[in-house]
């Protein structure tokens, strides 16, 4: 999420408008909310207004009010008020939930098409946190507080009108207090905004430590690193507590400050009212109604002063969610499409440097693979093999030079179409917590017949037959039900199932024992038939038959040729073969 303009550059009004664009639906709920808020606000001064005639006439010897009218009036008043508030709450929930569902959909869609740099910048937990918690928190906090603002402002206006009607001199005193409260609130909400942003980052860090500890629980236990992890957690946890406390200290200052101003206003009002009553300007009922109305204003004033920090918190959370929708770069592809590529791959003067790296991962790579050719990449760890293979599905972009498929530069290819031309078995196989069938078909129509054929070819059919529900067995988190080698064969089955014109195998058989390896080798040979294949491997068995073997070292092609030619040449390849056989 790269902020094009940081929140501080936007005015509060711009920020509110931006956020509320996402919460403008459904219209009928907004109308319901508006009606309920209006009715609710109008009802408030009715209570003190009821007191005035009651006190002035009801407690007088010449009572003219029928007694039955009192319960009817009081009960109806409260019922109407409660009904308005009930309907208002439902309307608010409708708005919040409808908008949230759509916002979550948009966030997830944005993550799905985001430029891959997003995943280098933000850990999984931070993204999950934004989609799952922050959007909800932000939306609920914001909508509730904005309703409070509108409702309480209207209530205040209604009260102010009533007070003016009763006694304008007294009302002037009350009105004078407002600007003071506003100034205090403004200063405080600025500070709360900064603290809230910092707290959210701390929450992300905390979640990240937990995520890592869970993922690496075995590494942590074997290294006896529990203490170390706990210390890491403690540091972040302490930071979070400090920020939360600061935020609470600042936020809680609002109420006492407003109460102080309210008490000044109250004492002034009472003093002036007593002076006025001595001059016979005000009846007892009128005074009680005035003071009751004034005291009833404290609750909405308090809500309004508290609400600024809630709005701030909600806004920070909602903005993060919206940034995920609006400020995430989308992967850019071209328009070129073809049903099935021939599988001709060419790299010209390709140089790759990772962001932040000081050295190039690949330099001046020239490589041409004819359709249906089988090439192998060998080289020491870190020599750039995975980087080279990652260029093809555009997981990595070249910093210089060009890569093309079927003679068309990769950026001109429509991205989904480009990626449908490759089947990839990566170095780190990741499986979904879903059925075997869905893991194999992933993204394509699930056809059990075809899946069995792929499993047979990957030499995994027997194991799947032995599973409790066969193809429909759920494989657990990252296929924990299977062994490392079985997981690899499942990935190979997925690649075979995809039936793409170019096959990329990055250490696809590294976790297999020699027996299984030779079986899988045989099936891979079948899978390779008629396709361009790029295999990265350490095993001689995998690479020996390659049409051309490229030996990489420090991001350069050191040698290339078939096995026999390279053996005759000696040099890096021979060293590599000696190493792999020792």
Ligand X SMILES: Nc1ncnc2c1ncn2[C@@H]1O[C@H](COP(=O)(O)OP(=O)(O)OP(=O)(O)O)[C@@H](O)[C@H]1O
For position 310 contacting ligand X by CB under 6 A, the verdict is: no
Peptide bond just before 26 cis, omega within 30 deg: yes
Candidate list 122, 151, 197, 385; residue touching ligand X; CB under 6 A: 385
Q: How far is the CB of 112 from ligand X (least distance, A)?
A: 21
For position 509 contacting ligand X by CB under 6 A, the verdict is: no
Site stretch for ligand X (CB under 6 A), options 26-34, 385-393, 478-486, 508-516: 385-393
- Measured from each CB, the residue nearest to Mg ion is 386
Grouping H, G, I as helix, E, B as strand and the rest as coil, residue 334 is coil
Is the CB of 189 or the CB of 386 nearer to Mg ion?
Answer: 386
For position 383 contacting ligand X by CB under 6 A, the verdict is: yes
Q: In sequence order, what are the residues at sequence separation of 6 or more whose Cβ sits closer than 8 angstroms to the Cβ of residue 220?
A: 213, 226, 229
Q: Which does 283 bind (CB under 5 to 8 A by kind): Mg ion, ligand X, none?
A: none
Site stretch for ligand X (CB under 6 A), options 42-50, 63-71, 341-349, 375-383: 375-383
Site stretch for ligand X (CB under 6 A), options 248-256, 317-325, 383-391, 540-548: 383-391
Site stretch for ligand X (CB under 6 A), options 26-34, 54-62, 220-228, 379-387: 379-387
Candidate list 54, 127, 307, 361; residue touching ligand X; CB under 6 A: 361
For position 448 contacting ligand X by CB under 6 A, the verdict is: no
Q: Residues 416, 529, 333, CA angle at the centre, nearest 5°? A: 15
For position 69 contacting ligand X by CB under 6 A, the verdict is: no
The CA distances from residue 62 to 58, 74, 79, in Å, are: 8, 22, 30
Of 512, 519, 559, 557, whose CA–CA distance to 537 is shortest? 512
The CA distances from residue 87 to 82, 93, 100, 164, 435, in Å, are: 9, 10, 20, 30, 45
Grouping H, G, I as helix, E, B as strand and the rest as coil, residue 408 is strand
Q: How far is the CB of 121 from ligand X (least distance, A)?
A: 12
Diameter of the chain by CA atoms? 125
Q: How far apart are CA 309 and CA 311, in angstroms?
A: 5
Q: Which does 361 bind (CB under 5 to 8 A by kind): Mg ion, ligand X, none?
A: ligand X
Q: In terms of residues, how long is the chain?
A: 582
Candidate list 36, 125, 386, 390; residue touching Mg ion; CB under 5 A: 386
Q: Which does 357 bind (CB under 5 to 8 A by kind): Mg ion, ligand X, none?
A: ligand X
The secondary structure of residue 356, as a DSSP letter, is T
Q: In sequence order, what are the residues at sequence separation of 6 or more whose Cβ sits closer than 8 angstroms to the Cβ of residue 99?
A: 22, 23, 24, 25, 139
Candidate list 9, 260, 368, 382; residue touching ligand X; CB under 6 A: 382
Is the CB of 141 or the CB of 361 nearer to Mg ion?
Answer: 361
Sites of contact with ligand X (CB under 6 A): 354, 357, 361, 379, 381-387, 427
Sites of contact with Mg ion (CB under 5 A): 386
């Amino acid at each position: 999420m790269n902020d094009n303009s940081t929140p501080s550059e936007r005015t509060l009004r711009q920020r509110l408008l931006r956020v509320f664009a996402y919460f403008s639906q459904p219209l009928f709920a907004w109308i319901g909310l508006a009606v309920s808020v209006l009715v609710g606000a109008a009802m408030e001064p009715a209570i003190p207004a009821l007191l005035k005639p009651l006190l002035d006439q009801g407690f007088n010897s010449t009572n003219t009010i029928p007694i039955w009218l009192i319960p009817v009036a009081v009960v109806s008043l409260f019922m109407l008020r409660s009904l308005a508030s009930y309907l208002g709450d439902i309307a608010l929930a409708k708005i919040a939930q409808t908008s949230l569902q759509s916002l979550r959909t948009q966030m997830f869609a944005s993550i799905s098409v985001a430029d891959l740099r997003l995943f280098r910048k933000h850990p999984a937990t931070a993204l999950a946190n934004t989609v799952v918690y922050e959007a909800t928190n932000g939306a609920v906090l914001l909508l509730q507080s904005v309703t409070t603002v509108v409702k309480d402002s209207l209530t205040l206006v209604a009260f102010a009108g009533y007070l003016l009607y009763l006694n304008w001199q007294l009302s002037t005193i009350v009105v004078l207090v407002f600007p003071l409260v506003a100034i205090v609130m403004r200063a405080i909400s600025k500070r709360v905004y900064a603290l809230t942003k910092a707290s959210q980052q701390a929450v992300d860090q905390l979640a990240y430590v937990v995520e890592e500890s869970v993922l690496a629980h075995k590494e942590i236990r074997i290294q006896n690193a529990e203490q170390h992890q706990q210390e890491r957690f403690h540091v972040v946890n302490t930071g979070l507590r400090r920020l939360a406390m600061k935020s609470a200290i600042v936020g809680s200052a609002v109420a006492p400050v407003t109460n102080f101003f309210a008490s000044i206003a109250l004492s002034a009002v009472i003093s002036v009212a007593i002076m006025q009553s001595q001059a016979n300007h005000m009846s007892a009922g009128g005074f009680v109604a005035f003071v009751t109305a004034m005291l009833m204003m404290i609750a909405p004033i308090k809500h309004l002063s508290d609400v600024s920090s809630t709005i701030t918190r909600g806004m920070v959370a909602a903005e993060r969610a919206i940034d995920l929708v609006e400020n995430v770069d989308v992967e850019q592809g071209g328009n070129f499409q073809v049903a099935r590529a021939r599988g001709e791959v060419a790299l010209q003067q390709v140089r790759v440097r990772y962001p932040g790296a000081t050295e190039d991962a690949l330099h001046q790579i020239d490589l041409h693979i004819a359709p249906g050719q089988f090439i192998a990449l060998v080289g020491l760890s870190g020599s750039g093999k995975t980087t080279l293979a990652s260029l093809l599905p555009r997981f990595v972009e070249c910093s210089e030079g060009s890569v093309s498929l079927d003679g068309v530069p990769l950026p001109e290819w429509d991205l989904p179409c480009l990626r449908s031309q490759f089947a990839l078995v990566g170095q780190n196989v990741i499986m979904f917590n879903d059925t075997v069938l869905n893991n194999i078909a992933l993204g394509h129509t699930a056809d059990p017949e075809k899946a069995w054929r792929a499993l047979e070819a990957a030499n995994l059919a027997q194991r799947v037959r032995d599973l409790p529900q066969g193809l429909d067995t759920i494989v657990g988190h990252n296929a924990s039900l299977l062994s490392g080698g079985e997981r690899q064969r499942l990935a190979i089955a997925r690649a075979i199932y995809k039936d793409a014109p170019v096959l990329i195998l990055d250490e696809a058989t590294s976790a297999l024992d020699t027996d299984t390896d030779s079986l899988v080798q045989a099936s891979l040979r079948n899978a390779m038939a008629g396709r361009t294949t790029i295999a990265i491997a350490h095993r001689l068995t995998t690479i020996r038959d390659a049409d051309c073997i490229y030996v990489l070292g420090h991001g350069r092609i050191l040698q290339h040729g078939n096995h026999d030619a390279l053996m005759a040449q000696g040099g890096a390849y021979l060293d590599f073969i000696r190493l792999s056989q020792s």
